[in-house]
């Protein structure tokens, strides 16, 4: 399959990027981050997650953050919701798109959300039903698609089964996540190709963590299979509270630089994105993980 001419970047920094920070980040900083990202040309910015503060204390301010951002026309601001209660909280502050999540690994599902894969899907089934009635779009996440910190190998057949099920339930898009950054290009390609045989390519996205420095290579392999949506986090922030050793997401700045250099349009203003990433890194008190930002900054 030929390379896409354009790719949509799903910026997950405000949620997946910040959820693993050890120090609580003020809501005002999160709001400013999202507002800055909104001025870079990004079309989708995942704002926060309406999970229990008991499990993810960093995102306890979800309602305050979402209510405080300046939502710009033409930009989607999805939020993660784990269940019906989370969905209701999100809708109370005007959320118009949500995401639900499960895993391809039974061991990870039990550690991450204290439920089996089937149980996790049953938890958010009412979300999909309410969303359909409310005209709210639902995105689906499948984690550990290339390996699990507890189970080890994850059969591709399990990834296909879960992705196919989420799509059949009504998720308009399925994000395939290498949660611990263990994949290599050949494995990423084979996994994506297997899922694409059962779920339309147009309904698939990829989500790579860069733990072993393979994220951009894995992304390229999936681009060659036709993927048109990529999750990434400004400044390469991230990690998973339930995946020991996982480092940040692939940096949005590095993804945009690579895509634009290949002649693939993103619609993103790279200098503005780099500036935002450097601003965030300063607020977090550490150097950016984006190699492009280091070079340009």
For 9, the 3-state DSSP assignment is strand
Residue 66: CB partners within 8 Å, gap ≥ 6?
A: 47, 48, 77, 79, 90, 93, 94, 95
Strands lying side by side in the sheet with 97-103: 44-45, 8-11, 229-232, 204-208, 173-178, 137-143, 97-103, 79-80, 48-49
Report residue 1 as tokens.
């399959």
| Chain centroid offset of residue 265 CA | 20
Burial 222-238 (b: 16+ CB within 10 A, else e): bbebbbbbbbbbbbbbb
Known catalytic residues?
A: 240
């Amino acid at each position: 399959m030929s390379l896409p001419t354009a790719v949509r970047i799903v910026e997950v920094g405000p949620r997946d990027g910040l959820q693993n920070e050890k120090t609580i980040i003020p809501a005002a900083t999160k709001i400013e981050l999202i507002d800055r990202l909104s001025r870079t040309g990004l079309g989708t910015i995942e704002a926060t997650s309406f999970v229990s503060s008991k499990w993810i204390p960093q995102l306890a301010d979800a309602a305050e953050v979402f209510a405080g951002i300046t939502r710009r026309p033409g930009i989607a601001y999805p939020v993660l919701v784990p269940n019906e209660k989370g969905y209701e909280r999100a809708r109370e502050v005007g959320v118009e798109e949500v995401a639900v999540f499960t895993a391809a690994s039974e061991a990870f599902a039990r550690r991450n959300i204290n439920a089996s894969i089937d149980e996790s899907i049953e938890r958010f089934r009412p979300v999909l039903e309410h969303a359909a009635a409310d005209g709210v779009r639902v995105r689906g996440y499948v984690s550990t698609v290339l390996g699990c910190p507890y189970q080890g190998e994850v059969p591709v057949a399990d990834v296909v089964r879960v992705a196919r099920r989420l799509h059949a339930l009504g998720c308009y898009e399925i994000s395939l996540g290498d949660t611990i950054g263990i994949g290599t290009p050949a494995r990423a390609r084979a996994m994506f190709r297997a899922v694409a045989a059962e779920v339309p390519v147009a309904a698939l996205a990829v989500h790579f963590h860069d733990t072993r420095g393979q994220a951009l290579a894995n992304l390229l392999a999936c681009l060659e299979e036709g993927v048109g949506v990529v999750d990434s986090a400004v400044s390469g922030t991230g990690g998973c509270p339930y995946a020991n050793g996982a480092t940040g997401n692939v940096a949005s700045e590095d993804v945009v630089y690579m895509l634009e250099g290949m002649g693939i349009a993103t619609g993103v203003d790279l200098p503005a994105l780099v500036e935002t990433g450097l601003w965030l890194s300063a607020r977090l008190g550490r150097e950016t993980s984006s190699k492009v930002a280091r070079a340009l900054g």
